[in-house]
């Protein structure tokens, strides 16, 4: 059954600072950001606090326990599976009224629970003063004020958690209006004893009354036809009495109860002038000014990465070249040299070519995410997304794709409709991720100039739009309208961005780097055994005749499937030149065609795997096939116009 | 009673009815958007873009596509103060 460590679940609405709080306790393992629903993977963490081990689970943010998007369904199934010993409900104090609606729903579970009243500093800045004691009495559970970003209140929260675990006191269910409560009681008594009750009878009854007719009704009609009939008539009675469907009545009940609790437990100073974030928001979301700003942000993003990465790269390449010369002098040209050379290319290429661009990109992505700009971009770009059959909610996964396609595809779970998920996931692999940005900057920007690279980016986005437009012919049904929460702007903390970058960097050195090194060594060995020639001959119809590239590059394109940067590092190795002497063997045009092909050709292995897992085998293969066709067509097009 | 699409910017509005399918309604309730809430339109995207709504009751902001906004009926509340 359960292991001996108590299970503590962190649950809260998106942007409540849940992951930040979790990080403050468990260390920087969970990814956090300021966009609804970006904690897509749930994180288990075993933490020892004051000599006691806790099994802490961080669930993705959810607005309610009545899921309407895949990410929320995950929350619900985990909540039921884990049967937590304690729930820590993280609440955004600055929007307490709305946040309490979930709190009230959680209380109905009657599990041991405490509330982390987070971001109290933000609430105070907005003029909302909350009395935790009063809130505690109204909710019937401990309330601990916290400021997760500064680590404040964490100790008190843990103390409260231990106290609650030791006492094992269950949370009291809130009471709704008596007429609704009567129906709930009546129906809950109808639930047969052998029925798989979740948490408790009342909770199960409420959830069934709130449930979606199509979803729940059919299953229930099959297994418990009598209960299903009783459920229907209970729903009908509520609807007749209140003039609205049961799910709306119950939602409204919680809403009013939450507002009442807010009123009784807090004091609002009105008439304050606009806070900084509201004033900035007026400009960021302005119907006209918003767009040049959006364009500016991305130009700046791009140039900063190039301006930081370029010189850094040049600086690091020198020593690398000298080291290589030293090896060749010492080891001759035998097997040993080939292995050493492959090792050096893999490790050195990672340090000198990949990291200079990769690191600043990660850092700026973290900045945009934490600021909350992604949701704003979604608002601004909604109209344009309609042109490719999607809407503004897909913008965030797309932008995340510029960092890495894998989390981008995971984050499509925030999309309610499966069609939107498929369409977005098919387009994401065409977004130039950090690996491809590295190639674009290291090859196109370095050898043809930054404006070429910028042009490349625009061209790339144009291609995405064209593919999207074409795909809408196959995915016709219209997507449901945009409903996207715009979280308040938050000044990103340097510490948080740094820790996020560090997490990504660690993942890179754990998974990608070994691939780069391994790939380089394999290529070295193939060269030593002259096996590379066979493969190159095999690909030469496409590589030489189609793309007009040197035959030696054939093998590098194949290996790009493992990891996109590998193509770049292997390219130098295959051509047998140093990075700075690249132009002696290939022309600028060839560099461009190579970059185009590598960019569009086949999603990398991790992307392919996550597509398979998240959306399905068919879509993963469809994506791979699509990318091969697009890569060939676009490269031929580029070759013919330059 | 007018739909949110026709509502003037910056005026306090009261949500009178949320029409539309069950999915959309459930989603709006979950985001803290209910009947009788006081809201205001903050901004609009260009070219028939989405409408940025500030919910004064729950102090949250939501971007709503036009299709959704059409289904939210509001009354203009007499000028504040």
The three-state DSSP-derived secondary structure of A332-372 is CCCHHHHHHHHHHHHHHHHHHHHHHHHHHHHHHHHHHHHHC
Q: Which of A180-184, A364-368, A574-578 has the weakest average pLDDT?
A: A574-578
Domain ranges of chain A: 7-167, 178-268, 290-641
Model confidence pLDDT, tens digit, residues A398-409: 988 888 888 888
Q: CA A573 → CA A337, A515, A553, A603, distances in Å?
A: 13, 15, 10, 23
CA distance A214 to A258: 29
Chain A residues within an 8 Å CB radius of B31: 63, 98, 483, 485
Written as six digits, the tokens of A490 are 């938050």
Nearest neighbour of A383 by CB, restricted to B34, B46, B61: B46
Whether the pLDDT of residue A2 is over 50: the answer is no
What is the residue-averaged pLDDT of chain A? Answer: 85
CA distance A308 to A285: 29
Name the CA radius of gyration of chain B, rounded: 11
Model confidence pLDDT, tens digit, residues A191-228: 888 888 888 889 989 988 988 766 566 677 777 888 88
pLDDT at A116: 96
Give A285 to chain B, closest Cα distance, Å. 7
Q: Where residue B81 falls among pLDDT bands split at 50, 70, 90? A: very low
pLDDT at A130: 94
Nearest residue in B to A211, CA atom = B26
Among residues A165, A163, A114, the alpha carbon closest in space to that of A143 is found at A114
End-to-end CA distance of chain B: 21
Give A296 to chain B, closest Cα distance, Å. 18
Q: CA A568 → CA A473, A503, A522, A579, distances in Å?
A: 35, 24, 15, 10
Asked if residues A116 and A89 have their Cβ atoms less than 8 Å apart, the reply is: yes
pLDDT at A627: 92
Q: Which of A116-120, A490-494, B69-73 has the weakest average pLDDT?
A: A490-494
Chain A residues within an 8 Å CB radius of B52: 285, 379, 486
CA distance A528 to A526: 5
Q: Which of A309-313, A326-330, B20-24, B77-81 has the weakest average pLDDT?
A: B77-81
Chain B residues within an 8 Å CB radius of A382: 45, 49-50, 63, 65
Give A55 to chain B, closest Cα distance, Å. 29
Among residues A353, A359, A305, the alpha carbon closest in space to that of A501 is found at A359
* CB–CB contact A392 B50 (8 Å): yes
CA distance A42 to A33: 14
Q: Strand locations in A21-112, DSSP E?
A: 43-49, 52-58, 86-92
CA distance A78 to A84: 10
> What is the predicted ipTM?
0.91
When pLDDT is averaged across residues A547-569 and rounded to a whole number, the result is: 82
Between residues A50 and A546, which one has the greater pLDDT? A546
For the domain bounded by A7-167, which CATH number is listed?
3.40.50.300
Q: Where residue A271 falls among pLDDT bands split at 50, 70, 90? A: low
Nearest residue in A to B35, CA atom = A252
Give A437 to chain B, closest Cα distance, Å. 30
Nearest residue in A to B44, CA atom = A287
Q: Strand locations in A96-208, DSSP E?
A: 113-118, 128-130, 142-145
Nearest residue in B to A247, CA atom = B26
List beta partners, residue A43.
A58
Q: Where residue A356 falls among pLDDT bands split at 50, 70, 90? A: confident
Asked if residues A381 and A393 have their Cβ atoms less than 8 Å apart, the reply is: no
When pLDDT is averaged across residues A375-389 and rounded to a whole number, the result is: 88
Written as six digits, the tokens of A257 are 């109860």
When pLDDT is averaged across residues A531-547 and rounded to a whole number, the result is: 85
CA distance A36 to A351: 34
* CB–CB contact A416 B25 (8 Å): no
Whether the pLDDT of residue A534 is over 80: the answer is yes
- Asked if A217 has any chain B CB less than 8 Å from its own CB, the reply is no
Whether the pLDDT of residue A420 is over 60: the answer is yes
Residues 6+ apart with CB under 8 A from A317: A352, A353, A578, A579, A580
Residue of B37, B60, B64, B81 to mutate when probing chain A, most A C-beta within 10 A: B60
Give A243 to chain B, closest Cα distance, Å. 12
**Phi, psi (rounded to 5 degrees) for A494:** -60, -40
- Asked if A483 has any chain B CB less than 8 Å from its own CB, the reply is yes
Q: Helix or strand or coil: residue A543?
A: helix
When pLDDT is averaged across residues A284-310 and rounded to a whole number, the result is: 88
Residue of B18, B21, B30 to mutate when probing chain A, most A C-beta within 10 A: B30
Determine if the pTM surpasses 0.80: yes
Whether the pLDDT of residue A177 is over 80: the answer is yes
Whether the pLDDT of residue A1 is over 80: the answer is no
Neighbours of A395 (CB within 10 A): 24
Residues 6+ apart with CB under 8 A from A365: A400, A402, A403
Work out how many CB contacts closer than 8 A connect A with B.
125
Whether the pLDDT of residue A594 is over 80: the answer is yes
CA distance A178 to A156: 37
Give B62 to chain A, closest Cα distance, Å. 4
Q: Helix or strand or coil: residue B62?
A: strand
Nearest neighbour of B64 by CB, restricted to A255, A380, A482: A482
Q: Which of A100-109, A291-300, A516-525, A614-623 has the weakest average pLDDT?
A: A516-525
* CB–CB contact A68 B26 (8 Å): yes
- Asked if A286 has any chain B CB less than 8 Å from its own CB, the reply is yes
Q: Strand locations in B4-78, DSSP E?
A: 13-18, 38-44, 51-55, 60-64, 72-76
Model confidence pLDDT, tens digit, residues A341-353: 888 878 887 788 7
Among residues A615, A188, A195, the alpha carbon closest in space to that of A421 is found at A615
CA distance A176 to A107: 12
Model confidence pLDDT, tens digit, residues A54-86: 888 888 888 998 877 777 777 888 888 878 999
pLDDT at B79: 60
Q: Helix or strand or coil: residue B69?
A: helix
When pLDDT is averaged across residues A446-475 and rounded to a whole number, the result is: 90
Domain ranges of chain B: 2-76
Written as six digits, the tokens of A496 are 């948080």
Asked if residues A205 and A246 have their Cβ atoms less than 8 Å apart, the reply is: no
CA distance A628 to A117: 51
Nearest neighbour of A252 by CB, restricted to B35, B52, B55: B35
When pLDDT is averaged across residues A173-201 and rounded to a whole number, the result is: 89
Among residues A16, A9, A2, A89, the alpha carbon closest in space to that of A57 is found at A9
Model confidence pLDDT, tens digit, residues A311-343: 888 888 778 778 877 877 777 777 888 888 888
CA distance A573 to A439: 15
CA distance A46 to A39: 18
* CB–CB contact A383 B45 (8 Å): yes
Chain B residues within an 8 Å CB radius of A68: 23, 26-27, 30
The sign one gets for the Cα dihedral A399, A405, A407, A408 is positive
Chain B residues within an 8 Å CB radius of A392: 50, 63, 65
For the domain bounded by B2-76, which CATH number is listed?
2.30.30.90
Whether the pLDDT of residue A580 is over 80: the answer is no
Asked if residues A303 and A360 have their Cβ atoms less than 8 Å apart, the reply is: no
Nearest neighbour of A379 by CB, restricted to B35, B52, B60: B52
Would you identify the CATH topology of the domain A178-268? Helix Hairpins (1.10.287)
Residue of A14, A274, A289, A382 to mutate when probing chain B, most B C-beta within 10 A: A382
Asked if residues A119 and A92 have their Cβ atoms less than 8 Å apart, the reply is: yes
pLDDT at A613: 84
CA distance A343 to A353: 15
pLDDT at A263: 92
Query: Which residue matches tokens 């393992």?
Result: A29
Model confidence pLDDT, tens digit, residues B42-53: 888 777 789 999
pLDDT at A544: 86
- Asked if A126 has any chain B CB less than 8 Å from its own CB, the reply is yes
Whether the pLDDT of residue A34 is over 90: the answer is no
Between residues A181 and A303, which one has the greater pLDDT? A181
Residues 6+ apart with CB under 8 A from A590: A548, A549, A550
Angle, CA A250 vertex, CA A245 and CA A254 arms, to 5°: 150
* CB–CB contact B62 A483 (8 Å): yes
The phi-psi region of residue A127 (left if phi > 0; otherwise alpha if psi is between -120 and 50; otherwise beta) is left
Among residues B76, B60, B70, the alpha carbon closest in space to that of B24 is found at B70
* CB–CB contact A382 B49 (8 Å): yes
* CB–CB contact A126 B59 (8 Å): yes
* CB–CB contact B31 A63 (8 Å): yes
């Amino acid at each position: 059954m359960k292991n001996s460590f108590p299970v503590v679940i962190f649950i809260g609405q998106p942007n409540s600072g849940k992951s930040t709080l979790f990080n403050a306790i468990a260390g920087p393992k969970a990814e956090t950001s300021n966009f609804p629903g970006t904690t897509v993977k749930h994180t288990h963490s075993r933490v020892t606090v004051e000599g006691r081990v806790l099994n802490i689970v961080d669930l993705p943010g959810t607005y309610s326990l009545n899921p309407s998007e895949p990410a929320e369904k995950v929350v619900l199934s985990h909540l039921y599976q884990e049967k937590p010993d304690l729930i820590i409900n993280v609440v955004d104090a600055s929007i307490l009224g709305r946040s309490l609606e979930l709190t009230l729903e959680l209380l109905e579970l009657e599990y041991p629970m405490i509330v982390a009243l987070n971001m109290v500093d933000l609430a105070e800045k907005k003029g909302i003063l909350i009395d935790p004691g009063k809130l505690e009495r109204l909710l019937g559970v401990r309330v601990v004020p916290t400021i997760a970003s500064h680590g404040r209140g964490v100790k008190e929260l843990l103390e409260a958690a231990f106290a609650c675990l030791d006492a094992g006191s269950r949370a009291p269910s809130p009471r709704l209006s008596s007429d609704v409560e009567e129906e709930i009681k009546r129906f809950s008594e109808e639930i047969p004893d052998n029925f798989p009750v979740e948490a408790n009878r009342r909770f199960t009854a409420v959830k069934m009354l709130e449930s979606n007719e199509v979803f729940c009704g059919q299953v229930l009609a099959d297994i418990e036809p009598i209960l299903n009939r009783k459920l229907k008539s209970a729903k009908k009675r509520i609807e007749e009495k209140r003039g609205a469907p049961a799910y709306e009545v119950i939602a409204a009940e919680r809403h009013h109860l939450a507002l009442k609790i807010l009123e009784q437990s807090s004091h609002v100073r009105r008439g304050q002038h606009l806070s900084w974030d509201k004033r900035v928001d007026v400009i960021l979301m302005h119907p006209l000014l918003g767009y040049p700003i959006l364009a500016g942000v991305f130009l700046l993003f791009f140039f900063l990465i190039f301006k930081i990465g370029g010189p850094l790269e040049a600086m690091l390449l020198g020593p690398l070249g000298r080291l290589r010369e030293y090896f060749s002098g010492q080891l001759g040209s035998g097997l040993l040299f080939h292995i050493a050379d492959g090792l050096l290319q893999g490790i050195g290429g990672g340090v000198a070519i990949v990291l200079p661009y990769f690191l600043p990109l990660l850092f700026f992505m973290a900045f945009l995410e934490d600021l909350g700009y992604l949701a704003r971009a979604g608002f601004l770009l909604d109209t344009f997304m309609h042109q490719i059959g999607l809407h503004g909610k897909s913008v965030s996964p797309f932008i995340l794709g510029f960092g890495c396609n894998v989390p981008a595809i995971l984050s499509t779970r925030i999309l309610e409709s499966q069609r939107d998920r498929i369409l977005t996931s098919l387009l994401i692999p065409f977004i130039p991720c950090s690996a491809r940005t590295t190639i674009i900057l290291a090859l196109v920007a370095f050898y043809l100039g930054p404006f070429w690279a910028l042009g490349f980016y625009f061209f790339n986005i144009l291609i995405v739009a064209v593919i999207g437009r074409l795909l809408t012919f196959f995915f016709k049904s219209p997507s449901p309208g945009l409903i996207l929460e715009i979280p308040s702007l938050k000044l990103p903390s340097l510490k948080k961005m740094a820790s996020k970058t560090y997490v990504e960097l660690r993942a890179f050195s754990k998974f990608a780097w070994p691939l780069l090194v391994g790939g380089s060594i394999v290529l070295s060995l193939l060269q030593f055994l002259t096996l590379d020639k066979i493969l190159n001959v095999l690909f030469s119809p496409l590589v030489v005749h189609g793309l007009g590239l040197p035959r030696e590059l054939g093998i590098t394109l194949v290996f790009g499937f493992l990891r996109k940067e590998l193509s770049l590092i292997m390219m130098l190795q295959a051509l047998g030149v140093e990075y700075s002497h690249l132009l002696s063997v290939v022309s600028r045009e060839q560099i461009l065609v190579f970059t185009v092909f590598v960019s569009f050709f086949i999603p990398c292995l991790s992307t392919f795997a996550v597509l398979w897992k998240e959306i399905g085998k068919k879509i993963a293969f469809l994506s791979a096939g699509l990318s091969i066709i697009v890569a060939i067509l676009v490269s031929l097009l580029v070759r013919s116009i330059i | 009673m007018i739909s949110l699409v026709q509502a003037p910017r910056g005026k306090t509005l009261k949500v009178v009815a949320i029409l539309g399918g069950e999915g959309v309604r459930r989603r709006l309730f979950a985001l803290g958007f209910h009947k009788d809430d006081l809201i205001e339109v903050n901004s609009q995207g260009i070219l028939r873009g989405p409408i940025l709504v500030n919910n004064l009751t729950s102090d949250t902001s939501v971007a709503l596509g036009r299709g959704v906004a059409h289904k939210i009926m509001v009354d203009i509340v007499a000028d504040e103060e």
